[in-house]
Every structure is written in C-alpha cells, then in structure tokens.
Structure 1
Amino acid sequence: MQPTTSRSMPSCPHRRGFCSNGRNPDESGYGAAGRLVIVHAGCQNGFFPNASLIFKAGQATGDYHGQMNRESFMKWLEEKLIPNIPANSVVIFDNAPYHSVQENKVPTKSSTKKTMIDWLTANGISHNPAERKWELFQLIQQHKPPEDEKNYVVDRVLRSYGHTPLRTPPYMCDLNPIELIWAQLKHFVRSRNTTGDISIRNLIEQVQLGIASITPARWAECCKHVVNIEKKYYETDQYMEELGEEDSSEDESDKSDAEENTSDED
C-alpha cells in the first residue's frame, strides 16, 4: 500500500450501532438484546487491516466498555488506527464530540469566573482577578486563538505521529466516503437478519462477514464518488462567487448612474 498524500483519504473513523432484538441470552453470556459499537477506517485501497473495533454497547468489562466516548476513541486511535495506516496519512473526521475534545479550551460567556481566571493564568495573560466576569470575558476574547486553531486532542496525537487531521464541514457527511461504506455494511447485516432475533454473537459474525465483503474496488468507487461531489461544490461555490461579484458591480453602476442624474438635475 502506497503512503497516502493530501489527495488520499484514510476515511473518518466513525462508530455505528447495530441492534439485536432477540429475547433469549446466547451461549456467549451476552444478553441477546443490545447494540454493537463498530469503529473502523479505510481508504481507496480498502479497510485498513487490524484497525477494526467491535464491542457490545453498555458492557461493563473488557478494554472497551459503555458507549463510544473520548477514552474509548483515543484508545482505538493509538492502539489500532495509527499503527496500521501508512506514514503521512490524512485522516478525515466528522465533528462527533469524541473527535472534537479540546485542550486549553477557551471559556465561553457562560463559563464560571474561576474557569476564566484559570484560563487566563494558564495562558500567561495579565489580568486582575477582582475584575467583573464580563471584563474577564472581554480579555479572553482579545487573546483567544482563531477558530481554525482550536487545540483538539485528536489533532495533537495524529500530528505527533506525522499524520494530518482533516475535518469535514458540519452536516456534510456526503464528503466522507465511509458513510457510503457504512450504508453497505448495514444493508448486508439487515438482509441476513430476516427473523429479527439475531444474537449478539451472530450479529458480530455478520458484521465481520460484511466488512470482509466490502472490496477495495468498492472503496475506490466511494472515494471517486466523493471527489466528484467535492468538484461540484467547488463549481457551485465559484459560480456563486462570480454571481456575487456581478451583483456588486451592478449595484456600483446603479449608484454611479444615480449620482450622475442627481448632478445633472443640480
């Protein structure tokens, strides 16, 4: 596998849940009712080997338990994703909460006064603790980093290994190929759960079979599809920009004509 570049897309690690609606516990000891949390990543060459994580949501034992959260995601990132992706990869994320945990998070207007003072102190910003809360917030606004320089924990870890994090814009999941892959996986599992009483053990097996059924060729198709969507967005953006410039020019022309007419009347 060739190392990825800025054009390649090791796609966003997402989690997905599949439900098991059976009523009887199976031989694995799990109750049949429950959900699976699935985390994986891939690129145009297919899923990355050894990067999958599948566990039962809400379980109280094991290395991964409960729901997907910051701790579980970071554990997966460092133990399963990073060791199995090429050097200098670009890792695409959406804006899920566990992707977006910040270090040195800038206090908001609703933060406590103590939080504001702690942030100012930690960042070496001179301030008077006796000042009122709104005054401290104004000081924070003057010294906070730009919006595109937020200190995400995930970004720091990825960069420390030589990788580049890249987030999709909010509510634009169509820019991530893995969304199409998840849809195919869900269809695979759903088509084999005809009775609605699949056990957790069997559900895990079906998920694993579904992952294995998604070929590199299918991944390549999904990545190509997203590239085409990106091109359409660029074309639309360029068109809207040009249209805005035309409207601005017309407004300026109308304004000039109006000024000339006024001058003639004088």
Structure 2
Amino acid sequence: MDEAIVGNLRSEWYNCVIILDNAKYHKVKPTWVPSRGNKKEVLVAACNRLGIHVESKDTKAKLRAKLEPVLAAVQPTIVQMAENAGHRVVFTPPHHSDLQPIELVWANVKGTVGCQDTSATTFADVKERLVTAFANLKGTTVQKSIDKSDVCKAAGGEIRGHEAGKQS
C-alpha cells in the first residue's frame, strides 16, 4: 500500500477496514528494523535507537534476543500507514483465500477471460480482455463476492457493503 492509496482512502473514505492476506510483502516492517542477517553494528544501532542497553561483548545472538520482544511489537509498515490515516488492517488466517473477496472477483475475471482463449490468443489479447472484463465487472458481482466470503463475520461484523465507510 503506498501513499497514493492511503491518500485516496483518506479523501474518499473514513474508518475503513482493510483486509489483507498473509503475503510476506504485506508484513514488511519499517526499514530501520534489523533483519536476521544484519551485521552486529546494525543490531547495536537498533538497540541504541530503542534505548536497549548493550555491552561491547554482546554477541549477535544476545543482541537479537534483546531486540526480539521490542521488535515483535513493531507493526508492519502497511498497518502503520493505514492507522495513521484512521483505518484498520485485518489479516486473514493463512490459507483462507475464501475470506478474501478479491480472490472471488479475480476468479470471476479469470473465468471470463479464460473462456475467450484460443490457440491464436496473444498476450496483447489477454491484456485487452482483462481490461474489458474489469470494465464490465458489475458492482453487484463485487458485493456478492463480499457477501459470499463472509468477510463481515471475519471483521467482527463491521463491514456492510462498500457504502458503510463512505463519508456523507
């Protein structure tokens, strides 16, 4: 999620519940959060930034152990961006694409495009058919996908169609 998307949500919607799957790229932490393979100096810098006492004799393993409980509480960047704009992010459980309405919409679009496939189909044809399929996608199809996914229950009953978060 980039600033443009958050900006659009901010200007058009309020208090959105953004539902994401558990893809790794949705869980990326801020750049200052050290990763497993970082050098000792990076771990020391992270400890200093967070006010964690370090000693020169501390090993990388000890530094990681000191950092781990603090870094576990650091939200992914996408969550921070959404919350800063007044929204909430909910992650679906692993391996439950049935809770993702977009997966059902995407299946619908792929079915529409796939039915038109022939041995002469080119990538340009596929792109054109995708654009057409999305342009012809009805709002009722999207709403049925939301209803079918039962995402309202997954989000604690907070979502009632796309108009629920619309500003008046």
Moved over 4 A (4+): 228-231
Percent sequence identity over aligned pairs: 21
Which residue in the other structure is 1:210 paired with? Answer: 133
Give the root-mean-square deviation of aligned CA atoms: 2.7
Provide the TM-score with structure 2 as the length reference: 0.75
Whether the aligned pair in 2 keeps the contact of 1:185 and 1:207 (CA below 8 Å) is: yes
**For 2:11 and 2:116, how far apart are their aligned partners in 1?**
30
Q: Aligned to 1:220, which of 129, 136, 143? A: 143
What is the one-letter code of the residue matched to 1:77? I
Q: Aligned to 2:70, which of 137, 144, 148? A: 144
Instruction: Kindly name which structure, 1 or 2, has the bigger radius of gyration based on alpha carbons.
Output: 1
Which residue in the other structure is 2:77 paired with? Answer: 153
Deviation, structure 1 residue 215: 1.5
**For 1:193 and 1:83, how far apart are their aligned partners in 2?**
40
Whether the aligned pair in 1 keeps the contact of 2:33 and 2:71 (CA below 8 Å) is: no
Which residue in the other structure is 2:33 paired with? Answer: 105
**For 1:188 and 1:117, how far apart are their aligned partners in 2?**
54
1:171 partnered with 2:95: yes
Which residue in the other structure is 1:239 paired with? Answer: none
Give ranges in structure 2 of 5+ residues lacking alignment: 155-168
Equivalenced residue count is 153
Whether the aligned pair in 1 keeps the contact of 2:82 and 2:88 (CA below 8 Å) is: yes
Whether the aligned pair in 2 keeps the contact of 1:185 and 1:211 (CA below 8 Å) is: yes
Structure with more contact order per residue of length (Cα contacts < 8 Å, sep ≥ 6): 2
Provide the TM-score with structure 1 as the length reference: 0.50
Which residue in the other structure is 1:77 paired with? Answer: 5
What is the one-letter code of the residue matched to 1:124? G
Whether the aligned pair in 1 keeps the contact of 2:6 and 2:85 (CA below 8 Å) is: no
Which residue in the other structure is 1:242 paired with? Answer: none
Deviation, structure 1 residue 118: 1.7
From the superposition, tell whether residues 222 and 112 of structure 1 become closer, same or farther in structure 2 (CA, over 3 Å): same
Return the structure number with greater strand share. 1
Deviation, structure 1 residue 207: 1.3
What is the one-letter code of the residue matched to 1:133? K
SS of corresponding position for 1:165: strand
Whether the aligned pair in 1 keeps the contact of 2:100 and 2:151 (CA below 8 Å) is: no
Return the structure number with greater helix share. 2
